[in-house]
Each structure stands twice: as structure tokens, then as C-alpha cells.
Amino acid sequence: MKFNYQMRFAKTGRARFIAHLDTLSCLVRAVRRAGFGLAFTEGMRPKPILSLAMPLGVGIEGEDEICDFSLMQRAPLTEMAKKIGGELPEGIILKSVGPTLERTKSASRVDSVSYRIELVQAPDGLAAAIDRFYRERELVVLRRRPKGDKEVDVKKYVNRVRQLEEGTGVEFEMKVTGEGTARPEEIEGLLSDFAGEELEVRRVVRTAINLKEEEPPRPPGPGRSQRPPRPTRAPQGRNRRR
């Protein structure tokens, strides 16, 4: 039997340069060193049941990252938070940990993500650049990939873009679909083009991962009823001749 938990953490400072797989390794080690037994998958090559809702690009900070994991036994939440938090590397800060009753992992329920780009100094044309971003029907960028370049219309993924109140940056929200999503550097590049000068970026931060609510299990179809499982019968011994 396994028990499902979810932790929320921030990834800041030098930790923003830790890649996705290395972040997973850091979290697995922290749980183990804290003295809690991770549950494993079944099969020929069992792996610890621990996953992130969505990879975070190298160099980008995260304010509220989500990690799902399963333990072999229940554990007191206060003790778990204290011990796991004490084993995390510098820059990865545990914010909360608790049980989850969700049947599906967070990675399959990501609806949108929010980012903030902080600038050293906002260009004069930033507000006009955001206005043009909204007015364009399509915003196609060329995405470089090892398997071949691909044109992507990032406009269809962006829910909103706005300038920060203090004027020294922008924040935006992007949809995550089965086809993919936009990338922060693509939004930054488009705004730089529209502003007529390159944005001088100080920090890029993912501020939120927004999850869809889990769908309830489907009831049986019309005219059908769920059959109770058949009782398991103990094997009977063979008749012996005397």
C-alpha cells in the first residue's frame, strides 16, 4: 500500500541553474535522507514514485513548484516538512507538504502557467509593445529543435500579458495544451521586437502552475450496472484413489 503526498517548493538563486532531472534527484535524496521510504513503481526497473507537475527551464526561478510523491507508510506532516526541508539544497525551499486524494498526477492536470519577467529598466515603448501583442492575430516564431526547426503560433497560447504596476517588467499567463505551450523567451523576444530594443532582463520567474480540477469517475452506462467482483475460491485438492 502506498500513501500519496504533494509538496510545494520555491526554486531561487543559484538553484535556478539545476536542470529538471537533477531537481528530481535532489528531491528524491532529500526524502530518503529525511528517513521516509519512497514507494516504487512495479516492473523490471522500479523507480521512485516522485514527479514534478511541469519542468522548469534552466535559469528560470520558480515561486510555487509542485511535486507529487508516494510513501510506503504514513508520516506526521509537521515532522515530514521539517526533515525534508532540512535536507534540500540551498535555493530549493519547501513551502508546504500534505496528503493528496487526487487519482491523477499533477503533470496531467496542468491548465496554465504564469510568469513574471523583471527588467533592469523598462524601455519607453514597452506599453505600446504589449498593445501590439494583443492586436496581432497570429505571432509565429521559429522554434529551434534538434529534430528540426518548427514554426509555432505562440499567440494562441497566451491568455494575458500586462506591464507590472511599477513599470519594470511584465507578467503573463499561458495555456498548456496537448499541443504544447509558449516559452517565456519567445514572449520576451516578441516584446523586444515590438519595443524596438532588446529587453534587459534581470530575472524570469514562474509564479504559478494552475491545475485543472480532477474529473469525477464516470458512472456506469445506461442499463448497465457495475458487477461486484467474483469471490476468489480456494483451490480444491484432487481426488485420490484408495
Show Cβ contacts of residue 95 under 8 Å, excluding neighbours closer than 6 positions.
Answer: 7, 8, 9, 10, 64
Residue 238 belongs to some domain of the structure:
no
End position of a domain, from candidates 74, 103, 132: 103
Whether 188 contacts 116, CB under 8 Å? no
Residue 56 has φ and ψ, to the nearest 5°, of -115, 125
Residue 239's pLDDT is what? 46
Q: Report if residue 229 sits inside a domain.
A: no
Range of the domain at 200: 109-211
Regarding whether 153 and 93 lie in a shared domain, the answer is no
Q: Do 98 and 114 belong together in one domain?
A: no
**Grid coordinates representing 55?**
519542468
Q: Are residues 63 and 128 in the same domain?
A: no
CA distance linking residue 61 with residue 109, whole number of Å = 21
Instruction: Give the pLDDT confidence score for residue 176 in this predicted structure.
Output: 97
Q: Residue 122 belongs to a domain with what CATH number?
A: 3.30.70.100
Whether 233 maps to a domain, the answer reads: no
Q: What is the pLDDT along the chain (242 residues), one digit of tens a residue?
A: 899 999 999 999 999 999 999 999 999 999 999 999 999 999 899 999 999 999 999 999 999 999 999 999 999 999 999 999 999 999 999 999 999 887 789 999 999 999 999 999 999 999 999 999 999 999 999 998 888 899 999 999 999 999 998 888 999 999 999 999 999 999 999 999 999 999 999 999 999 999 998 766 666 555 555 555 554 454 444 444 44
| Pair 153, 190: CB distance under 8 Å | no
- Which single residue is written with the C-alpha cell 517588467? 169
The per-residue pLDDT for 240 is 44
Residue 32 in domain: yes
